[in-house]
Structure 1
Amino acid sequence: MVGIFRTNISTQLDKNSVIEAIYTNFNVSTCSIDMEDCDKVLRIVAQQAPIEEKLVISFLQQMGYQCDILD
């Protein structure tokens, strides 16, 4: 129920925008972006069902960001 992604989110404004959009469009309990990490790690914890990683990646790409599963 946790999804961890590498992104290219680079500003606080972008971070706030992405987090708000994720809370609005996905059923998550927590969402955070570590701006200090070189991979700008996006961490999403789902409320019940597993994170649909492909949907999250597609969603962020539609917003204009790079997003990949962090291995």
Structure 2
Amino acid sequence: MIEVFCTNVTCKNQAALILQKLSETFTNCYFNFDLEDCDNILRVESKKHHLNVDSIQNLVRESGYQISVLDDN
């Protein structure tokens, strides 16, 4: 399963901290940011488990950033 999020994370240091928290919390998922995209994309992939979108969003929000699921449009 893959989910793509729009964020307001803008620099590599911010992204690295969030990626570390996400990786520690969701050990069966792969995370990466595309900060060169206009939506500052956070991409999450899990090959074995269903993604808990709410938990991922809550962790990012608790870190002080905005996040929302990117529409398929």
Q: Scaled by the length of structure 2, what TM-score is found?
A: 0.89
Tell whether the 8 Å contact from 2:28 to 2:49 is kept in structure 1 after alignment: no
**Alignment: residue pair count:** 71
Answer 1 or 2: which has greater strand percent: 1
Instruction: Determine whether 1:3 maps to 2:6.
Output: no
The TM-score with structure 1 as length reference comes to 0.91
User: 1:28-67 alignment to 2 at 5 Å?
Assistant: 28-67=28-67
Structure 2 residue runs of 5 or longer lacking an equivalent are none
The gaps in structure 1 that reach 5 residues or longer are none
Instruction: Describe the superposition over 1:4-60 as per-residue Cα deviations: whole angstroms up to 9, x where unpaired.
Output: 100000111001111111100113342110010010000011241111111111111
How large is the RMSD of aligned CA atoms in angstroms? Answer: 1.1
Extract structure 1 runs of 4+ deviating beyond 2 A.
Answer: none
Residue 23 of structure 1 is matched in structure 2 by 23
